[in-house]
Amino acid sequence: MPIRSSTFRRSVLAVALLSVFSPAFADDAGTTDLNQVVVTASRTAQTQDQTLAPVTVIDRADIERLQPVSIVALLQGAPGIQLSNTGGQGKQTSVYMRGTNADQVLVLVDGVKIGSASAGVAALQDIPLEQIERIEIVRGPFSSLYGSEAVGGVIQIFTRRPDGAFVPHASFGVGTYDTLKGSLGAAGKQGAGWYSMEVSHDQTHGFNACRGPGGCFTIEPDNDGYKNDALTLQGGYKFNEQWDADARFFDARGRNEYDGTFSNSAKTESQVAGGRVHYKPFDRLTLTLALGQSKDFSSDYLDNAYVDTFNTRRKVGSLQADISAGGGLYSVGFDVQHDNIQGSTEYVVDRRTDRGVFGQWQQTFGSQQLQASVRRDDDTQFGGRNTGSLLWGWDFTQSLRLTASYGTAFHAPTFNELYYPDFGNADLKPERSRSGELGLRGTHGWGGWSLNAYETKISDLIAFTGPNFLPINVDRARIRGVEATAHTELVGWTVQGTLNWLDPRDESNDFDHGNLLPRRAKQTARFDLDKKVGAFSFGGSYFVSGKRFDDTENETRLGGYSLTDLRVAYALDRDWRLQFSANNIFDKRYETAAFFNQPRRNYMFTVRWQPAQ
């Protein structure tokens, strides 16, 4: 259902009043603990208040408090993030960070880069919430630390870790659309070692994914279900003061039903395996060796008849040295990534290797802080690419920090864009970007606030055009945006809010010049209220999005919409908790991709068990 512009203006006014009448504009986070350690923003350990880049952290407590039905619902409305989904839980979901394309966002699981080398995007929708310990979201260009894809930012997912000697836990949930969720796990520490094990099961009968024939070119008025079984195993050991190591394994296997002409179901598998060794020969030097592999497998079917298979494997390795000298921290490292694709479709080239060398300098000068990094990537397909970034921060009072940054980034073309038979172009160059940002944030005993304004210019954008509809480097884009976040404690209520304003424009020299980039709204906002009273906790979330367009021509309009969710939890005792959530309580109809339905009013009831420590 379309939302009127006056409704969005009232929502914006509400958060503006919040900033005036409560000491509350807060640093980007679902959590208020700015002393927790994060690693994604610099590839080194920092407390969140030390980071110069805008960082959002969603931890395990936030996940259980907000009671989202999926990782897609959890990320909706996060600072700088917009989503499009093709028909509910488990369906293809695209993440647009700061207006960049979905394949211009880097996704890591426990430090290992994931995603399909053929399609270029990570299957976030297949990562169960019960497997997640926390999520770090870093916004801005970070190719100078991570290489390709980190144009809009980086999302790193950390699987669950132990917080006691032995901590078992379990959950069971039922909900609308015949949804069934269950998980069982245990984690613990024994002497110098630790371990964690987790299994989970998600399934839903779903609803009709596509109201076709528009977006899916067929009419299949049936329920499109989804099933996912996941396993995580990990552990580590500290041998002495100089050596420690850890290893992890994650595997998620599912079956997804959807509407389509050439296929309407798929069997999928996502797998991540990796390990790290840390060696600290001196107090001022730490060496880290990391090796990992991710797999993205998919077999498609049409009415249970086999159609095709796409299997991609990515092997990664890195060696990093962190050196403390002269009051600063210097990091140098080498990364290698090898991708290959196999399946029923024959590619002219089915593998490639990228090697990257990077260096970083972090230094504090009194009340000012610098972070500078440079990187050189050499790829067997497109050759070399240089990137760099410079971030500066100034604590001009004890509670206020001014930040500024500039960075370049790139995105390597995918195997489909390069080599898909009759549709690829092996002469494609990487997409390139330049970004600048200015930010101001404050942290206080009663809360904090942040405001960030940025501009990104992208050149050599890959577009499918011309008489043969082949991908070529023709497009340019200019993206401007402003982000504001808020949290405070107000008469016993935890209040959080996020506002995003975005202007993502196509600046290519064609008929689309000046148009908005597809599936990105100019305005979004989210507000969360939570309160705890004795054994009860209750709260709600309100998300509002302005209109967007589904196509580059800006002819297919997707109306704005608002969603209201409510939640309540009750602690039976120290070990048992009951949770209930009601989502989209006003039963709004809306689409984030044209013709693809989204969940109507739905409910979820969950029982959780974890012995008190």
Q: What does the angle CA 13 – CA 593 – CA 583 come to, to the nearest 5 degrees? A: 55
Please report the pLDDT score of residue 465 as a whole number.
66
Nearest-Å Rg of the Cα atoms of the chain is 23
Low-confidence spans in the chain with pLDDT less than 50: 1-2, 13-32
Q: Where are the domains of the chain?
A: 5-345+356-609
Task: Please name which of 107, 160, 93 lies closest in space to residue 129, comparing C-alpha atoms.
Answer: 160
473 strand-pairing partners: 462
Tell me how far apart the alpha carbons of residues 537 and 591 are, in angstroms, rounded to a whole number.
31
Tell me how far apart the alpha carbons of residues 498 and 12 are, in angstroms, rounded to a whole number.
10
Please report the pLDDT score of residue 20 as a whole number.
38
Please report the pLDDT score of residue 248 as a whole number.
96
Tell me how far apart the alpha carbons of residues 440 and 515 are, in angstroms, rounded to a whole number.
30
- Which class would CATH give 5-345+356-609? mainly beta
348 torsion bin: left (phi>0), alpha (psi -120 to 50), beta (else): alpha
Tell me how far apart the alpha carbons of residues 497 and 355 are, in angstroms, rounded to a whole number.
41
553-567: b (≥16 Cβ within 10 Å) or e: ebeeebebbbbbbbb
> For the whole prediction, is pTM greater than 0.85?
yes
Please report the pLDDT score of residue 33 as a whole number.
60
Tell me how far apart the alpha carbons of residues 558 and 521 are, in angstroms, rounded to a whole number.
9
Contact indicator for 302, 258 with CB cutoff of 8 Å: no
Tell me how far apart the alpha carbons of residues 83 and 76 are, in angstroms, rounded to a whole number.
7
Measured in residues, the chain has a length of 613
Residues contacting 408, CB < 8 A, separation 6+: 141, 143, 144, 386, 387, 388, 389, 432, 433, 434, 435
Q: What does the angle CA 426 – CA 431 – CA 434 come to, to the nearest 5 degrees? A: 165
Tell me how far apart the alpha carbons of residues 499 and 522 are, in angstroms, rounded to a whole number.
11
Distance of CA 381 to the CA centre of its chain: 27
Residue type, 516: L
467 strand-pairing partners: none
What is the tens place of the pLDDT at every residue in 521-537? 999 999 999 999 999 99
Please report the pLDDT score of residue 19 as a whole number.
41
Q: Please, how many CA atoms are within 13 Å of residue 611, restricted to the half-sphere of its CB? A: 10
Residue type, 109: V
